[in-house]
Structures are given as structure tokens and as C-alpha cells.
Structure 1
Amino acid sequence: MKYEDTLEMLEKKEKVLLKKASVEVEKAKDYSKAKNKRAAIQCLKRKRLYEQQIEQLGNFQLRIHDQMIMLEGAKATTETVDALRTGASTMKAMQKATNIDDVDKTMDEINEQTENMKQIQEALSTPIGAAADFDEDELEAELEELEGAELEEQLLQPATTAPAAPVQVPAGRQQARPVPQKQRTAEEDELAALQAEMAL
């Protein structure tokens, strides 16, 4: 880029001028030792001229750097504006492609398809053939009958007696004689169950 080339050239000139200024300082020292004051002062004048040129070159470099920074900022700004413009154009195109009428039409189609699917599912879940002939009331009556028979069977089965927990009776109120508990054997339980079945 032109800026980099110019900066490089200015830096080279600055280095040359710095060398020339240091040479003039050395010459001034030599003339001063030789007691040639006038020649030493001339060397110092040239050194100051070189230093002025060096300062001027430094200002040039500073201006170029400043310009480069401004251009980079302008480039970033331009790219940002372009990106925003592209985004706005894309959004505008998307809005044109999908207006509210299209959205409403799409939603109507979705609702229609959902209703159709419900009707298909209801049609598939309706019993056909022999299952369609079953009367719900008859099935419920049969279920009640089964539940009643099961309850009756449970009532007729002999209760298994667990050993009774000792009852704490307050002092002075004890019964004169304990009530005997009759223990049933397994055979007696089976016999009672068979008799209950035959009674049905």
C-alpha cells in the first residue's frame, strides 16, 4: 500500500539524518579541541538543521499514521453500514414473501388437517364386527355380577384367626373365667370351604 511505502521511505531518511547529526556533533567536538570555535559552531548549526528535518519527518509519519487509522475506521464503518443495509433488505424481502394473508391461510390449512386427522382417528377407534354388537349395559351388569360373586366368596371363606393380643383389663374388673378360643385346623378350613361351594 502507498502509506506503508511512504512510511518506510520517511523512516530511512530519518535514520540518515540522525547519522548526519551525530557526525556533526563529533566534528564540533574535534573543532572545539582544536580551538576552532567558529567551525565548531557551524557544525552545531548543521546538527540543528538536521534535527529540525528529523522533527518534520516525525510529524509527517504521525500524519500518515493518523490518516491510516481514519481510513481503517471509515472502512469498518462502511462495512458495518453495508451489513446493516443487507440485513434490512433481507428482512424486507422476507416480509414481502410472508404477508399476514399467507400466514392466515397457512394456519387455516393446519387447522383443517388437524380436524381431518381427528376424524380419521375416531373412525379407526370405532369398534367393528362382533365387538360393535356388544351392549355396554349388558357388560356392566355382567361385571357387577362378577364383583358380587367374588364378594360372596370372600365372605364364605373361613377367617384365619391370628392369636389374640392379650387384653389389658383394669384391676378389679377381671372376668371370673376366660372365654376359650377355638382353634381351627387346616382340614376344618378346607371342609368349610367345600361346604360353602356345595351350598351355591
Structure 2
Amino acid sequence: MMNRLFGKPKPETNALQTLDKLNETLEMLEKKEKVLLKKAGQEVEKAKEYTRSKNKRAAIQCLKRKRLYEQQVEQLGNFQLRIHDQMIMLEGAKATTETVDALRSGASAMKAMQKATNIDDVDKTMDEINEQTENMKQIQEALSTPIGAAAEFDEDELEAELEELEGAELEEQLLQPTTVLPSVPAGRQQARPIPKRTAEEEELAALQAEMAL
């Protein structure tokens, strides 16, 4: 009933819960080990006291209990070692499971992408692009083709007429008279024009004339 309501627990959740349980058990065993070691130490102290008081039998009993405690400590040590081993294996299995899940997700994503980009679909798309490109070229050629009266003009006749116009223009240029500049008699040079003085220069000249008087 609970599985129907909440679904089955994920393996990762179970692994984490198991690791927590193992950690708790390990801590409990370590505490028991400390208690047993303390009791074993107390039995040793008691045995020493009985030895001082010449109570050999009581001292031997203390040593027997000490050995029992030590046996339990050794047993607890083996338990802890097994738990550590189990934790290492579980952590490794958890890492392996996570890796496999990641690889499985990647493979599924790759498969989905390959399915979405089927080679047949790619070829079909390229054919459509080429077809549309060819159609556009034909449309452009149709639009650039002369229609009506312009389509009836002979290109050879137009070129011949253009050559006649160019020849007539060249002949007209050759028939134009050449402009000859008047020659200057030998030994005479053209008089240089006197530069016109500015208003400031005229005022300066008048001032110099007054000072000369």
C-alpha cells in the first residue's frame, strides 16, 4: 500500500540509509570497546591490590575477567573491520550505480538526438534547400529577361550603331581648328602688370611723402 502511494524507494536512498545505519553501528561498537577496555584496566588494578594483600585467588579471578573483556574487545574489533569493509563495498557499489545511471542517461539522450536528426530527414532537408535555391535562380533570371518591345531589339544592330556614333564623334574632333597663341617678337618681353597697392600701402606712402616735405 505504501509503495503504491509513494512509489518504490530509489536505490540511492536505500544506499544512503544503509550507510547511515552502518555508521551508527560502528559508533556503538567503538563505545562498547572503550567501555570494555576501561573494565579490563580496572580488573588489572584490582589484581594488583589483591596481590599486595596476598589474596592470590581473587587476583587470578580479576585476571580471568580481564581476559574475557579483552576477548570481547577483539571480537568487537573484528565486527568493526567487517563494517568498514561493508561500507567501502557499499560506497563503491553506489559510485558504480551512479556512473551506470549517468552513462544510461547519456546514451538515451544521444539516441533521442539521433532519432530527431535522422539521416533521411537531413537528406530531405538538403534536397528542399537545393530545390528552393534553384527556384530562386529561375525567378531572378525570369525577372532580368527583357519583355515587350525591348525584347525585340537586335544586340548586333545596337552595337553597330554605337560604333558609328563613336566614329562620328572622333571625326568631329579631328576637324575642329587648332587655336594658335600670338607669338611674341624676339627681344621683347611682355610687360609685367603692376600690382595694385592696397589701402594700407597707399596710406603708408602718403605718410612717407608728408614726412619728406
Residue of structure 1 equivalent to 2:7? none
1:57 corresponds in structure 2 to 76
The equivalent of 1:89 in structure 2 is: 108
Give the equivalent residue in structure 2 for 1:175.
Answer: none
State the partner residue of 1:3.
22
Task: Quote the Cα distance in structure 1 between the aligned partners of 2:45 and 2:22.
Answer: 35
Could you tell me how far apart the structure 2 residues matched to 1:91 and 1:12 are? Answer: 52
Gapped runs of 5+ residues in structure 2? Answer: 1-19, 146-157, 167-213
Give the C-alpha shift of residue 40 in structure 1.
1.6
Under a length normalisation based on structure 1, what TM-score does the superposition of the two structures give?
Answer: 0.57
The root-mean-square deviation of aligned C-alpha atoms, in Å, is 3.6
One-letter identity of the residue aligned with 1:90: A
Matches within 5 A, 1:144-183: none
Q: Which residue of 2 aligns with 1:28?
A: 47
Distance 1:53 1:108 in 2: 82
Q: Separation in 1 of the partners of 2:139 and 2:47?
A: 110
TM-aligned CA deviation for residue 109 of structure 1: 2.3
Kindly provide the amino acid, as one letter, of the partner of residue 100 in structure 2: V
Residue 15, structure 1, aligned to residue 14, structure 2: no
Q: Deviations over 1:34-87 (max 9, x none)?
A: 222222222111111101101111111111111111111111111211222222
User: What secondary structure sits across from 2:65 in the alignment?
Assistant: helix
Alignment of 1:30-49 (within 5 A): 30-49=49-68
Q: 3-state DSSP class of the match of 1:31? A: helix
* Structure 1 counterpart of 2:128: 109
How many residues are matched? 142
Determine the C-alpha separation between the residues in 2 that align with 1:30 and 1:124: 122
Given residue 37 of structure 2, which amino acid in structure 1 is its aligned partner? L
In 1: Cα distance, 2:63 partner to 2:47 partner: 6
Q: Which amino acid is the alignment partner of residue 108 of structure 1?
A: D
Q: Which AA in structure 1 matches 2:121?
A: D
